[in-house]
Chains A and B, each alone.
Chain A
Amino acid sequence: MIETPKVDWLALSPVLALLGASGIALLAAVLVPPWMRKTVSAVSVFAGFVVAAVFAGIVFDDTPQPEILLSESMARDQLGALAQLILAITGAAVVFAAWSERRRRHDAEYYSLLAAAGAGMMFFVQAENLMTLFLGLEWFSLCLYILVAIDTERATSLEAGLKYVIVGGFGSAVLLFGSALVFGATGELGFAQIAAAEAGDDAFLVTGLAMILAGLAFKVSAAPFHMWTPDVYQGAPTSVTAFMSAATKTAALVVTIRVLVTAFPDESQIWTIAVAVIACVSLAWGNLAALAQRDVKRILAFSSVSHAGFMLIAVAAASERGTEALLYYLVPYSAMSVGAFAVVAARERELDKPVTLEGLAGLGWERPFYGVALWIFMLGMAGFPLTGGFFGKLFVFSAAYEVGDWWLVLAGVAATALSLAYYLNIVRWLYMRSGAELRLAPAGGSPPRELALGVAVTAAIVVTVGSFFAAQPILDLASDAASSLPF
């Protein structure tokens, strides 16, 4: 009789649910007749995300104290569960947003990979040692590489996929090298064991820490590790961009704070400064570069770089309040970016070409619902009140101010001022320019009725605005989750 390790199936259930859904969708690609392939795979993947959300909720409710599972390789705690919940809801919204996308082939494969990427991210946020960390990272990255390039008939999609593979591969390699250095310095893989090893100011350890941070910063798309972001966001199918901007960032940021706080508490003097510097660079670079863009997806890509900067301010605070702020921020941010990219996708299909600022002219009057939605998302990203984006920034700033980083508050405020220029510019194009004035030729015929996309956008609006009025309940969840880290 071979002794098997005790497996906590409940803790793994969100990942398993999505893997199951991914498998069903993949089988549908072969076994189901073409005309209902898309329906079967989309429904199964949506169900997978919903089941994953339910299980993540149960785990959250059921895990007052963090537990370490499977030979110190996975964590079962409220931090991971809350991140999984956000990821699952994001994924479900993306399934709706992607429904109207027309592709000649690979419909079922698309949904299958979406579920698999989601599963990888959920595995990633539970990582408790450097091995599972790397496995999770590669798992969801590989799925995303293919998803980005899935529209093989579009050259831009292929180009974006190639760029993402090369730069992403480089980032993973850096992370792996860093992990090896840390292992060399401490002889340990588990986060808690690395912290317990007390390697001190070992040069290997510090170099390893820096490389791990850099590797994660690639996924967070924080400057100066964001080089791939605009090209990939622009070239990828828009629903994939939506998923990447919301989910990849969520997963990578949660893991960043987890690694830094659990594995390197003694080095916090070093990494708080490093993270603060990365945050400032991201704020400056993201916002300045966004000002120069004409393509809306590129603007949103650089805006996501600047949002990474805001969220890294919360990480740099290295406090429970900071982690709360980060987790809160992720909720409206995910909703806003999925929503914004969904509206862009709708416009893209209507014009049948990439959406530039000119392409938005008059959208606010022609399609009042999309117009108001995009308006709300832009105001939310700019941190205007009546959206959760405002409280996100407020909580981040107060966390930073509380630990004495007043200069990060000022940097954040300056970046917000800068960001208004392009967010309000989008609003300007929506309402203050008319499409007729620019002779914007629609693709022909009446615009397609995209009910599923409307559902996704509505949900995003509800979360964006709702998280403003119901800030406290979300903050309560975030605060429970933050308490599972050893501050």
Chain B
Amino acid sequence: MLTTALILLPVAAALVIAILPLPRELTAGLAFLAALMEVGLWIVTAARFDFEEGGLQLGTTEEWVESLGISYSVGFYGFSLWLTGVAVVVSAAAIGYALWVGRDRPRAYHALMLFLTGAVVATFAAQDLLLFYVSFEAMLIPLYVLVGVWGGARRQAATLTFVVYTMAGSLLMLASVVAFGVTQDTFSLLDSGTSDNTWIFLGFAVAFAVKAPLFPFHGWLPLTYREAPPEVAAVLSAIVSKTAVYGFLVIVLAKFPEPVRDFTGLILVLAGAGLVYGSLLAFRAPDLRGIVAYSSLAQMGLIVLGLFALNDLGLDGAVLLSVAHALISATMFLLVGMVERRCGSGELEVLGGMARGRPVFATVLLVAGMVALAVPGSVTFAGEFLIMAGVYEEGWGYAAVVALGIVLAAMYVLRLISAVLHVRPGRAVHDEALDLRPGELALVLPLVACLIALSVWPALVSQSSFSGDRPARVISEGFR
């Protein structure tokens, strides 16, 4: 019931907000309140969750379409609960940011954001392949409009590429869902067995590779992350991309052991290539959005390296890094948004010198940046180290690539920090550009606080993600 409530609360709030003709501020405030309630509900859920026991918890199953074996089946594993937690926190911060900047047409905007939150939570909770597909697709409906209506100047081109890429992936997945469900005679992820059909596997793998995105399926990423409103970009890169991680875990790795074995080499190479390529592009990007966007590509490559190492270290590291990256990229995109609001541009060459007279902003950006570049002792370092140790078992070459990625991350994050904070004040940086306002601080501070807390205690996530802390066995047993 709690799981269902967690899905329905934002959706119901979205409907109420869409229908009630309230004044602007009240609409946005109500949406923010609903998002905060969702965070509260998640805390209640986490309190009820027994991390020691592992396995599927807080599950509900209702028959939906019996004749095809489709059910409404939801529940949480340790790792999906963490992913959900970070999703509700990030979406609350994003909705708060939209409230702060006063987005136009607030009823439509906030209804869509809350609906998106509900769809993301449903994706993380889905234990039925069809329900998973439904929520996975449902995310696209609000995103299409959110980017297309509230985005930047080239928003229409951005939505088009985004939708073409993701729908191509999703429809391949639909074919795979049908084929898998019909051959298994059930769509339930809990009851179905494994499959050794390479084509079905590829349908899923490509869909998730597009969503993540993974090199070379990232064509939609630069334009979409640049043109979306910053808080929507935050939601996209922080939590929507993590649904692909969830899909890789519960569907690809758990249901297709043999094809995974055949394709591990290829996927690891692509993920490694994505890591290096994304890092290089982030280093060369001329604007803030570009850096954060391509670093997202790199980090997703890193996460996938960990997943497909298919051992305890790699999987734990992948989940930990997913949680950490969600918080970081959300923080970064929100900070980028705040810079763009002050300076009217995110081009690095017109920025600079913002540290002078803006101590709060400088501190927050520096702290977030330090976590992002995986300073030893940070949660990202813990995650990347686990992944590096995990892929080392697959071959030292992969570990070397991960190490290279970490070095490159330091380079592009430091470049971002120095380009914004240091050097001479840029053309677009005026004296009137204020330091972070209390409202803005209240949005990013919780995210940074979560990051610091996890840096202090990364085991909170990494040791409670899979039952008995044996992720590889949990996966090979298909979560049973």
Chain A interface residues toward B at CB < 8 A: 324, 365, 379, 384-386, 390-391, 393-395, 397-398, 401-402, 406, 409-410, 413-414, 416-417, 420, 424, 427-428, 431-432, 471-472, 475, 479
Contact = CB atoms under 8 A, between A and B. Distances in A.
26 contacts: A365-B105, A384-B137, A384-B141, A385-B134, A385-B137, A385-B138, A386-B141, A394-B130, A397-B174, A398-B68, A401-B182, A413-B171, A413-B172, A413-B174, A414-B171, A416-B171, A424-B163, A427-B144, A428-B156, A432-B145, A432-B155, A471-B65, A471-B70, A472-B66, A472-B67, A475-B65
A76 B99 CA distance: 61
A401 B179 contact: yes
A64 B140 CA distance: 43
A395 B144 contact: no
Contacts of A424: 144, 163
B259 to A, nearest CB: 17
B182 to A, nearest CB: 5
A406 B164 CA distance: 23
B149 A479 contact: no
Given A385-B137, A413-B172, 15 more contacts: A324-B67, A386-B138, A386-B141, A390-B134, A398-B181, A401-B178, A402-B182, A417-B168, A417-B171, A428-B156, A431-B145, A432-B148, A432-B149, A432-B156, A475-B67
Interface in B155-180: 155-156, 159, 163-164, 167-168, 171-172, 174-175, 177-179
Given A384-B141, A394-B130, A431 B149 contact: yes
B133 interface: yes
B149 A391 contact: no
Given A401-B179, A409-B178, A391 B137 contact: no
A155 to B, nearest CB: 36
Contacts, number: 80
Contacts of B182: 398, 401-402
B63 interface: yes
A440 B179 CA distance: 47
A326 to B, nearest CB: 15
B144 A409 contact: no
A424 B141 CA distance: 10
Contacts of B130: 394
Contacts of B167: 417, 420
B65 A379 contact: no
Contacts of A402: 182
B64 interface: yes
A428 to B, nearest CB: 7
A479 B159 CA distance: 40
B133 to A, nearest CB: 7
Contact of A394 (B163, B168, B172, B178): B178
Contacts of A471: 64-65, 70
A420 B140 CA distance: 12
Contacts of A472: 63-67
A365 B107 CA distance: 11
A391 B65 contact: yes
A357 to B, nearest CB: 14
Contacts of B145: 427, 431-432
A325 to B, nearest CB: 10
A214 to B, nearest CB: 30
A326 B159 CA distance: 33
